[in-house]
Chains A and B, each alone.
Chain A
Amino acid sequence: MYTVSNLWNEIFTGQKHHWYEYTVVIGESGRLITKAGENITFGGVAILVSQGGADSGFGESQIESLSISLRAFSENVPSVGSCLSGELDLSMIRPAGEIPRMALVRPYVRITNGEQTSEWIPQGIFYIDTRETTQNDDGLDVITIHAYDAMLMTERDYPDTTHSWPVVDTAVVSEIAAALGVGVDERTWAVMTDAYQISAPVGYSMREILGYIAAMYAGNWVMNYDGDLLLIPINSIPPETNYLVDSGGFAIVFGGDRILV
């Protein structure tokens, strides 16, 4: 479970009705636009805005649909040794800003009850693979985007290495993560404790090497919500616990905390 604030939990478990808001950040930078997608200018010059945070993203008013699919198995059976890419499908009013090739797409979500609003939490980092522009009933350009997360980039050959092979598996994972420009989820290191020695991956892709390492630990690789590499063991789920619930199935809380039975 992605770590959220106490405020998030308070809103989620509170008695007041709550709902979610979401936004999508595209690219590393953009221009300030109107709701119709036209540039807002200052002295005739489009105003550049930072796209570094969720607050600068495109809101629900511009997004027609957004869906994200994530999976931990390569097939419809429990299996290990794979690298799974998350996929994003986005349809939105075409922004005025330029969208470069393979631009970043970063969705965020937060919880609110109308009075309180939580922090944004990320929902992954994706790269545009295909795009298509059409017009909606209002005559506005609508861009439809299909994007994958960084796992797809592991299909490249293993990068130039500074290691003296063989090296321990964790060093291989770190080198691949560095080549991809991503981090490694801390939960991965908690799993990779056997310190297997890996021979020089000559002729192998990064995806193949990651897959072999995942197989050694009976797991699969995915990208987490922060866009970092995460090795998920097939039996990652924690021991079952039960909470006291009401007739509607909602947890009964005491001082904001669910009651474990």
Chain B
Amino acid sequence: MSEYSIDTLNKRFEGLNASEQFDGYSGVEVVVDENTSYFAGSTAGRVLTIQNPLGTQEQADKALARIRGFQYQPFTATRALASPAAELGDGISLNGMYSGIYHITRDYNSLMTADVDAPNDEEIDHEYPFKPKENREINRKFSAIESEFRIQSNEIAAKVSETGGSSSSVSWSLTSTAWTVKANGTEVFKVDRNGATVTGKITATSGKIGGFDIGSNAISYNGLTWNGNKNGIYLGSSGIQLGSTSGAYFQASNSGVVKAHNMTLTGTLNIGGTNITAAALRSGAQSAYTNGGTWSTGAGYGYNYNNATQSGNAGPRLFNCGALNVTGTSDFGNTLRASGGAIINGLKIGTMYNYTSVSIQTKTIDGTTIHYLGY
């Protein structure tokens, strides 16, 4: 049985050229493909790169355990009297230098002279980058495949039709017109020439949609932020804001505070549970209108008051109204001026102007000066 041993030649060779011994191996990189590789050890010393599509991390670890610390000694010996029993992988000792037999070319003659070497033709010895044969082959393959894909991409777009996945969970279908994804048999995502359609949950914290910027907790238009002063739109966790706070704007906060520059209500305004309408305001039926101040209306409007009581001069003043109907005991503490007829049942009047007719069903006129009565 053969075993690896040492052929000690000492000075029995014609020529010897030895390079500096390599650093010891400290790492192993197993390259599986362009995107996958496994590394063991460190880059402190030399790293052995292994191309292997069957590679694993375990292989990298074990390969490193085998070669860690091994120092390769390059050399070339010409016309060495190497024993014909010496084999590849044996050690060889030449004039104090020790290495291995990694390449041997023997001429058969009575001396059995041989050129023996441990080759060294690495990148560091070249002015231009050098790649080992394996790397070049892999690169050529990837380049060829990439070129092929590029050339045939149009044909693929026109011809491809594939399906995959599980119909019971997530499946996909790729045809010449659309790419669809289904979950439990229901289409949840589709891309066709019109764009993408999503059914179901969408999560995004950045990007744009319809001109709106998507943020982590808001979407906005024109960069408007809460209480910001840009003329845009903000819909976010603080509330809703339209327009700049430095100008006309509308704002509704998440705590229920509404601010508006101008507002037109066409329906009902509810304050504290009470609906307030424009007609009710005009009729005085709302207590809001009994709280003093001057109310000047246009001619032709009629108003009905019921129990619109207000004491003193702070009471409502009614000017230039149309027909007036007071059905309850109402106190116009200051002025009542009406251009239409007035039916008053229970009335206290401070000053009354411009009545075309007054029908007083209760005769008591107490402390009141009536001007122009009977016009």
Contacts and interface: CB of A to CB of B under 8 A. Distances in A.
Interface in B44-99: 48, 50-55, 59, 62-63, 66-67, 70, 72, 83-91, 93, 95, 98-99
B63 A238 contact: no
B59 A216 contact: yes
Interface in B104-139: 104-112, 119-122, 132-134
Contact of A240 (B9, B50, B98): B98
Contacts of B337: none
Nearest to B7: A1
B103 interface: yes
A218 interface: yes
B151 interface: no
A115 to B, nearest CB: 16
B304 interface: no
5 contacts: A75-B121, A78-B48, A109-B112, A217-B63, A235-B67
A152 interface: no
B11 interface: yes
A76 B119 contact: yes
Nearest to B63: A218
A20 B11 contact: no
A69 B2 contact: no
B1 interface: yes
Contact of A20 (B50, B52, B84): B84
A104 interface: no
Given A216-B52, A216-B63, 13 more contacts: A1-B87, A2-B87, A65-B108, A68-B105, A70-B104, A78-B48, A107-B108, A215-B50, A215-B52, A215-B59, A216-B62, A218-B67, A250-B10
Contacts of A1: 2-7, 83, 85-87, 90
B137 to A, nearest CB: 11
A255 B11 CA distance: 23
* Among all A-B residue pairs, the 4 with the closest Cβ atoms: A249-B10, A249-B11, A76-B121, A236-B89
Interface of A: 1-4, 8, 12, 19-22, 63, 65-81, 107, 109, 111, 121, 123, 185-187, 194, 196, 198-199, 212, 215-218, 222, 224-225, 230, 232-238, 240-243, 245, 248-251, 258
A257 B119 CA distance: 32
A76 B90 CA distance: 18
B62 A235 contact: no
Interface of B: 1-12, 22, 28, 30, 48, 50-55, 59, 62-63, 66-67, 70, 72, 83-91, 93, 95, 98-112, 119-122, 132-134
B4 A236 contact: yes
Given A1-B85, A4-B85, A70-B103, A233 B66 contact: yes
A139 B109 CA distance: 24
A199 B90 CA distance: 33
Contacts of A240: 6, 91, 93, 98
Given A71-B88, A187-B2, A222-B88, A20 B111 contact: yes
Contacts of B119: 73, 75-78
B2 A224 contact: yes
Contact of B103 (A72, A81, A242, A248): A72
B284 to A, nearest CB: 94
A1 B88 CA distance: 8
Nearest to A208: B53
A185 B63 CA distance: 21
A194 B83 CA distance: 33
Contacts of A69: 103-106
A71 B111 CA distance: 21
A225 to B, nearest CB: 7
Contact of A237 (B4, B51, B55): B4
B89 A248 contact: no
A73 B122 contact: no
Contacts of A218: 28, 48, 50, 63, 66-67
A74 B136 CA distance: 13
A215 to B, nearest CB: 4
Contacts of B90: 1, 236-237
Contacts of B9: 249
Nearest to A246: B10
A70 B133 contact: no
B48 A80 contact: yes
B102 A72 contact: yes
